[in-house]
Amino acid sequence: MTTRHSFHEQLESLQRDLLRMGVFVSEAIEKAVQSLARLDIPQARAVIEGDDTVDRMLIDIEKRCLQLMALQQPMAIDLRTIGTALKIVTDLERMADHATDIAEVTQKLAGEPLIKPLVDIPRMSVLAREMTREALDAYVREDETAAREMIEKDHEIDALYRAIFDELVELMQSNPAVVLQATLLLHVAMSLERIGDHATNLGEWTIYLLTGELEELNN
C-alpha cells in the first residue's frame, strides 16, 4: 500500500467518524428538547451524560487530524480537508454543549408543569437538526450548492426565536409568577438559535473546503 493511499484511507476514516459524531449530536438535540417537552428527567440526564462521549469523539478526531498533519505534511486541498474536519468537529461539540444546556433546564423544571405547551421550540429543534444533516451531507458529497441552500433555514430559526422571545416577554409582563420558568425557556430558545448558528458554520466550512474562500453567510 502506498503512503498516499494510506493517507486517503485515514482521511476517509476521519470523515466516517465525523459523521458518526454528527449523528450523535443531532440525536442529543432531539432528545434534549423531547426531555423538556415531556419533563422527562431520566432522558435529560442521559443527554447530559452523553456529552462526555462527544468530548471523547472530539479529542480522538482532533488527535488524528494533528497526527496526519505532522506525519504526512499534506498540501493544498488535503490540508484544507483536515483543517475543515477540525473546524466541523469543534462546532459539533459546541452544539452538544447547547443540547446539554437544554437538558439541564429540564432538570431545573422537575416537578413543575410547563407554563404553556411547547410549539415553536420543537420547531426550532427540527430545523436545527435538518440543517445539521444537510450540512454534513453537503460536506460528504462536496456539494457547494447544497451547503449554501441549507444555510437559508437559519433565517427560519432566527424568526422562531424572535417569536418565542416576544411571547415569553409578554407572559412575564402579564404574570410575574412565570418569570423564572419563562427565563429558562428563553435560555432554551437561545441555545437552539446558537445551534442553528453552528449548523450554519458547518455549511460555511464546506464552502471553504471546496473554494478556499471563507464566507460569512448567516448575517
Local confidence band at 209 (pLDDT 50, 70, 90 cut-offs): very high
d(CA 200, CA 135): 8
Angstrom distances, CA of residue 5 to CA of 73, 76, 165, 172: 14, 17, 52, 61
Q: Which residue has the cell 433565517?
A: 155
Model confidence, pTM = 0.93
**Percentage of residues of the chain with pLDDT beyond 70:** 96
What pLDDT score was predicted for residue 111?
Answer: 85
Nearest one of 61, 56, 50 to 24, comparing CA atoms: 50
- Stretch 3-12: mean pLDDT: 77
- Stretch 52-68: mean pLDDT: 95
d(CA 139, CA 88): 10
* Amino acid at site 7: F
